[in-house]
Structure 1
């Protein structure tokens, strides 16, 4: 069967999906991947596919099953499953139309199963998540970008933020928009939104302290560059307007966060998933907590790294880690939360997909949409580029959408595959074809 994997945020998901696609190819399964055009291919065909659901869209899942396909839920926000149990209610809607739900670890699986009817508990499988297969010292060469080192030095300080309260579209507008989507009805739940607003207030109390930390580090280490890398949803101008006078501070969001981690001298966060990635990649990690509420900070990731409560303490830890200070112990067994630490998620998931495909029909091969179809795709994309130049919220909304999956060529994908093959030459050689804007087909 053909595997179909829609991707929302390329910088977060693409590398892991490519690695998964190569493991699927090793089992004779081609992979269609890319932006939302993947769903259009799936819905416009009556051919069965193995569909990797990431946003619990019941209508798409039902269509896949009706065509004789299978649905594997592979959610890129798996860490949120321990932040707020209310997120798990989203999975209750897809129980009649999902073949398997992939959990990042045993703890998330237990939480999921606790919310499911007993006869549905076997839908949950502990797999890990594909991108965390690549979060290790072994794959540092894959992510390492020599141009970053040349431009910012080999010892720059990377500050990763993930503050929803600083959303580029505005907190209230963004969540109102989500509440109108059928797959995110949870944002209409008053109890859940009360929690989200409390969390936003907590985060607002962190914004200015993180700016103060940045200024302190820039002045304490004038010969080192300091990089603030906000979450893709954040308003970058908040930070830029407050550090414009500091020549060694940069607010940037280009490329994968793993590239920035791979070249950084040290990584600083509060409760960001990138802290876990930095730890797994072997980078010195500091967890800055000018104030801390264990009920509102993201559990697990907020306890990773050397803790520091003041800018001075962070700066002292920067010096200590540069002299070989060892990694701070985690308060948790991370293997229970990230199964990748004991198994390769891509192998487990690829075996699962191969099991679903066994005995089924041969994979159908999607083709480019033809002249008129291509014109429609390009017209839509070019329209976004024009609308992104609009002032105000409308322009910010389109720019946010474009930033989630920047335009890519076949060569962009081939370059990433070449890097994966250089590290693991035993992976199968595969061909990649661009079908239309940001939609690709990988076959062996």
Structure 2
């Protein structure tokens, strides 16, 4: 089925991406472009039955290349942005770990978080000169004052449950993955033990640094719990992390909770202060006018993420961190008012939608221009046949096998963990809430296409 007007927005992690993409879907639908939004794995399996519209991929990694190529061969207009393109250590390491040469050749255009992200993509040796649009990401739209009211009720509930609390966000999925076999950096370190000579792989250097930070965090979370026994300390692991590791590290601290519930925004708004290292949540805290502390007991310019750390108060040792937490528990709004203009300038360089036109408005404008400029045509028969064979192989054999494999990233239990069951009533309720904040979206209709996939029109 061909439909030039359809836009398709796949989401990998519900808590991280879905609300923002649902907001974009509402903007697109209201502008006359029906939009499909939902769980990425389900949408990709539906490739042979979806309208051949404009697909916005969520990454350009080696894993993405196969899907993007398959969709292009099936006749979709393939575009992409990188959900993890905002926060990275260096452009070189970003290109090495997040951009695949084959995946970069597939999109007809790319949407960038800001100039820093665009420059890193532009300088990749396999970049094809596809148009790069500085649109930002709809996730930042949710943090603007116009939409922060969406999170007020949840924020109040969290404060009622935990009182004044410290939030510690961790991002060690490549060292402490939900499935040990997917802890790629830790596995790289284990493999290196059996090799001779000095390693030259920059990924190995990153693995050593990340593991060192992880070990410091294991000690730090317990120390924070012990230092403030009257205060609740909430550890919020990365969605792909193993929670048991953090539970074990703090089992003697009755005031520590290890929780991963819902969107991170109300947690950031409710917390007295947020602690992290090189984490995107520090950028979100800054955009929410909240204080973040970057715990940096060891540093490495080649591997630390400068954007979130430079938007935070940096603490080089545990004593300094505990002092800042103590101050934050008294009055977090009074912390670190210095250097605010430099931080705003830094944010603008990385975030095209930091202020002014929102990311959703930018994306709607660009997508309408793409529709005007391009004429969609069916790919040659042989190209479609190759795309169909890939789609049927993935749907009928590969994904079915992987869904049953314990410890696999496509295992059914893990996918449920990443994107819990969402009903059309849930979607309707969220659209109504966003609409009430913005005074729009009253005429939109929602149709559930299949489990966790919805049409907004």
Provide the TM-score with structure 2 as the length reference.
Answer: 0.79
Equivalent residues in 2 for 1:68-147 (5 A)? 69-80=76-87, 83-85=90-92, 87-88=94-95, 90=99, 92-115=101-124, 120-144=128-152, 145=154, 146-147=156-157
| Whole-angstrom CA distance in 2 between matches of 1:59 and 1:310 | 44
CA RMSD of aligned residues (A): 3.3
2:52 matches 1:42: no
Larger CA deviation: 93-102 vs 273-282: 93-102
CA contact (8 A) 2:234 2:258 kept: yes
| Whole-angstrom CA distance in 2 between matches of 1:410 and 1:290 | 46
CA contact (8 A) 1:49 1:64 kept: no
Q: 1:97 offset after TM fit, Å?
A: 3.0
CA contact (8 A) 1:128 1:338 kept: yes
CA deviations over 1:114-146 (Å, ceiling 9, x no partner):
22579x435211111111111234433213413
Distance 1:81 1:354, change over 3 A: farther
2:259 to 252, 255, 259: 252
CA deviations over 1:402-428 (Å, ceiling 9, x no partner):
211011111221222122112211345
Where 2:236 maps in the other structure, the secondary structure is strand
Equivalent residues in 2 for 1:409-420 (5 A)? 409-420=423-434
| Whole-angstrom CA distance in 2 between matches of 1:193 and 1:44 | 46
Where 1:441 maps in the other structure, the secondary structure is strand
Q: 1:78 offset after TM fit, Å?
A: 1.1
CA contact (8 A) 2:114 2:352 kept: yes
CA deviations over 1:36-70 (Å, ceiling 9, x no partner):
2222333335x430111124444544454456542
CA contact (8 A) 1:232 1:400 kept: no
| Whole-angstrom CA distance in 1 between matches of 2:151 and 2:255 | 23
2:446 matches 1:432: yes
| Whole-angstrom CA distance in 1 between matches of 2:67 and 2:261 | 32
CA contact (8 A) 2:165 2:234 kept: yes
CA deviations over 1:189-222 (Å, ceiling 9, x no partner):
xx99932332222122223332333233323322
Question: Counterpart in 2 of 1:32?
Answer: 36
Question: Counterpart in 2 of 1:315?
Answer: 322
2:353 matches 1:340: yes
CA deviations over 1:300-325 (Å, ceiling 9, x no partner):
22222111123332222123334222
Where 1:121 maps in the other structure, the secondary structure is coil
Question: Counterpart in 2 of 1:365?
Answer: none
Larger CA deviation: 62-71 vs 258-267: 62-71
Q: 1:175 offset after TM fit, Å?
A: 6.8
Q: 1:434 offset after TM fit, Å?
A: 1.6
CA deviations over 1:139-160 (Å, ceiling 9, x no partner):
332134133222111x211000
Where 1:115 maps in the other structure, the secondary structure is coil
| Whole-angstrom CA distance in 2 between matches of 1:102 and 1:91 | 16
Distance 1:67 1:217, change over 3 A: closer
Distance 1:240 1:397, change over 3 A: farther
Larger CA deviation: 203-212 vs 4-13: 203-212
CA contact (8 A) 1:4 1:42 kept: no
Distance 1:193 1:135, change over 3 A: farther
Where 2:86 maps in the other structure, the secondary structure is helix
CA deviations over 1:263-316 (Å, ceiling 9, x no partner):
211111111011111111111211111121121112322222111123332222
Aligned pairs, how many? 407
Question: Counterpart in 1 of 2:227?
Answer: 220
5+ residue gaps in structure 1?
A: 179-190, 363-375
| Whole-angstrom CA distance in 2 between matches of 1:226 and 1:169 | 25
| Whole-angstrom CA distance in 1 between matches of 2:88 and 2:214 | 24
Distance 1:400 1:157, change over 3 A: same
Where 1:78 maps in the other structure, the secondary structure is coil
CA deviations over 1:81-107 (Å, ceiling 9, x no partner):
664535436354245432211111112
Distance 1:122 1:401, change over 3 A: closer
Larger CA deviation: 429-438 vs 226-235: 429-438
| Whole-angstrom CA distance in 2 between matches of 1:31 and 1:124 | 22
Distance 1:104 1:395, change over 3 A: closer
5+ residue gaps in structure 2?
A: 189-197, 377-394
